[in-house]
Amino acid sequence: MAIVKRLDKGTALTYAELDGNFDHLTGEDAAIRAEFAAADAVVTAAFAAADDIAQAAVEATAQAALDAHTGDTSGAHAASAISYTPTGTVAGATVQAAIDEVVSDLAASSGSSLVGFLQSGTGASARTTQAKLRESISVKDFGAVGDGVTDDLAAFQAAHDSLSGTGVWKGGEIIIPPGSYYLSDTWVITKRINIRGTNRGEQETNAATLLTFAEDVTGIRVHSSMSTPVGGSGDRTHISDINLFASSTGTTGHGIHSSCHITIERVSVRDFAENGINIVANSGTGTGIANNWTVKDCRIVTNGGHGMFISEADANAGVAINVDCTENGGWGFYEDSKLGNTYIACHAAGNTSGSYKTTSTVGHSVFVGCYAEGGTGAAASFAGPSMAIGGILGAGADGFVCISGLDGATTSDMRLNVPTGGRYQFRRNGIEIARIDTTNIFSGLAGYWCTTGTNKTTKIEGPQIEMVTDTNSAQDRMRFDTPSGRAGSVTTTNATTAYNTSSDYRMKENVVPIENALSVVENLNPVSFKWKNCDGGSIGFIAHELQEFAPECVTGKKDEVDENGIPIYQAVDLSFLIPTLTKAIQELKSQVEELTKRLAE
């Protein structure tokens, strides 16, 4: 299109000419818009094509340049030839120099402090990798080699000494990576530490974390604040997943010796000269307090002394769970604490002195589901009021112990044993109601069974039962009750004894006089005889003969036997003849009176 009126050589349009142009544009508006839209589409397509061509050219040129300089470390495009303006702490004048400096900084001992770390999860705080890694330490951080030859004692002790804290509670975690570590002397622990290996093996060949100690040294010594010569305390130290071996048995040294509270889990201890695990503490003598110790899932074998040895006044209220003590030179478990400890699902086999031993006469140790085997090595010995529930503890386990379940002998009942002079008491609301002691079978002070004291005793000795009362008045000494009421009793006074059978009229019905009593008496056959099983003769009746005429006097049946053919003998109670005899006398008296009357006539 063309504008109707144009400027002509700079001459201004008149108002009429402008109006004419605007009128023309308004009429051609739709056509103008369409032409602009078409032109815009053409331009956009042209720009896109030009951009694609330019991009391809740039990529081709760049690739050709890279291909031409591949492997070039000295050309114009090498990192060492590219200028770099230093910023921050990097001082290199070229890219290569800057890279070298960064690598050097990262490789330095402080390099991990230059690398950030952010834990996943909402609210995590950013910190350095160094701070993260220092949450625990490894013995290899201090030069431990773990080749089984190099002496790593210094590295182990340095790892321990590096742990920080305040007061006697200094500590942290020490990791012992897989390896075989040789230590020429005792590893001394005087800080609260979590010592963690990789796993416990039962032999040197399958132990991931193995600590082998020189001959005649204790492996790990955990001191209390009382026992340590240098201050500090290893109280509540936790040792897990390691294997301790002595290079040879020698004559002295324990596997682990603690005089404070300690937890030992999944640890194997072998071949030390003395005890595998030795926990000894007494605050009174200044050695420490080891109460509430824990030993769990451990194997203690072929040590020269006892497998586990727990001793003295402050080694109480601890627990051993699933601990195996096998083929040690002393006892498998030697319990010598003052108040006692608990052993659950433990095993002892082939120990020279025996399986389980307690020495305290006041300590109350408990053995739950423990097991012993190995002939003589299975024998147990309890000296105090300990308790064993279930399990098989071997011969001797029933010495002064309550056993429910097998005891290694031939019985499976419960046995209550008390040392000389001791007793078992039964109390209710703090008041004794009965007791069992060494002179009375049962003696209850509240009248529940038998009574005891100077004037109240029940004594069973051999074939005799002796009952002593504190009154001369009539008193029931024995009573026989049934669901229907009292059936009889034995009553004594100061001089007589009555054997009573119930005869109250309220218990009877259909009461009628006895008839023909004299006839019954006439048919009785009193005899004299000699007992087959004892000396001396006697008089009486033959039970089955008496039963024919006075059945209420006889129990049992003639010639009766049990299922094994053993005779069930008949018995008689001649007191039931008294009513018949009484009636017979009355009948005889009537006859005598009748005869006397007739003679008098």
Instruction: Specify whether the CB–CB gap between 203 and 239 falls below 8 A.
Output: no
Provide the greatest CA pair distance for the chain: 204
Q: Which residues contact 69 (CB under 8 A, 6 or more apart)?
A: 75, 77, 78
Please report, for residues 113, 183, 349, 429, 463, the alpha-carbon distance to residue 469 in angstroms, rounded to integers and kept in the order given. 92, 76, 55, 27, 20
Average pLDDT of the chain to the nearest whole number? 80
Is residue 324 helix, strand or coil? strand
- The pTM of the full predicted model, rounded to 2 decimals, is 0.59
Q: How confident is the model at residue 449 (pLDDT cuts 50, 70, 90)?
A: very low
Q: What is the arrangement of strands in the sheet containing 475-482, beginning at the earlier edge strand?
A: 475-482, 485-492, 497-501
Tokens standing for residue 138: 């490894």
The C-alpha atoms of residue 4 and residue 2 are separated, in whole angstroms, by 6
pLDDT of residue 237: 95
Please report, for residues 28, 73, 242, 505, the alpha-carbon distance to residue 13 in angstroms, rounded to integers and kept in the order given. 21, 73, 106, 156
pLDDT of residue 320: 98
Identify the CA nearest to 176 among candidates 254, 241, 220. 241
pLDDT at 205 > cutoff 90 = no
pLDDT tens-digit profile of 59-97?
A: 666 566 556 555 555 555 555 555 555 555 555 556 667
Residue indicated by tokens 């060494």: 438
Identify the CA nearest to 212 among candidates 298, 146, 159, 302. 146
In this structure, how many other beta carbons lie within 10 angstroms of the beta carbon of residue 462?
5
- Superfamily for 135-315? Single-stranded right-handed beta-helix, Pectin lyase-like (2.160.20.10)
Using alpha carbons only, how large is the chain's radius of gyration in Å?
53
Q: Which residues contact 413 (CB under 8 A, 6 or more apart)?
A: none
Top pLDDT among 590 and 309 is at 309
Please report, for residues 294, 364, 372, the alpha-carbon distance to residue 328 in angstroms, rounded to integers and kept in the order given. 21, 25, 13
Which string of b and e fits 177-211 if b means at least 16 CB within 10 Å? eebbbbbebbbbbbbbbbbbbbebbeeeeebbbbb
Work out the angle at residue 322's Cα, subtended by the Cα atoms of residues 317 and 327, and round it to the nearest 5 degrees. Answer: 105
Top pLDDT among 182 and 86 is at 182
The C-alpha atoms of residue 189 and residue 212 are separated, in whole angstroms, by 17
pLDDT tens-digit profile of 9-57?
A: 455 666 666 666 666 655 555 565 666 566 667 666 766 666 666 666 6
Is residue 576 helix, strand or coil? helix
pLDDT at 381 > cutoff 60 = yes
Identify the CA nearest to 211 among candidates 139, 160, 283, 162. 139
pLDDT of residue 349: 93
Q: What is the 3-state secondary structure (H, E, C) of 375-421?
A: HHHHCCEECCCEEEECCECCCCCCCCEEEECCCCCCCCCCECCCCCC
Strand segments, DSSP code E, in 504-568 are: 527-530, 537-540, 554-555
Q: Which residues contact 400 (CB under 8 A, 6 or more apart)?
A: 382, 383, 384, 385, 386, 417, 418, 419
pLDDT of residue 130: 77
Lowest mean pLDDT among 159-163, 255-259, 371-375, 525-529: 371-375
Instruction: Specify whether the CB–CB gap between 240 and 195 falls below 8 A.
Output: yes
DSSP designation for 504: -
Residues of the chain with CATH 2.160.20.10: 135-315
Residue indicated by tokens 């503490």: 281
pLDDT tens-digit profile of 234-252?
A: 999 999 999 999 987 789 9
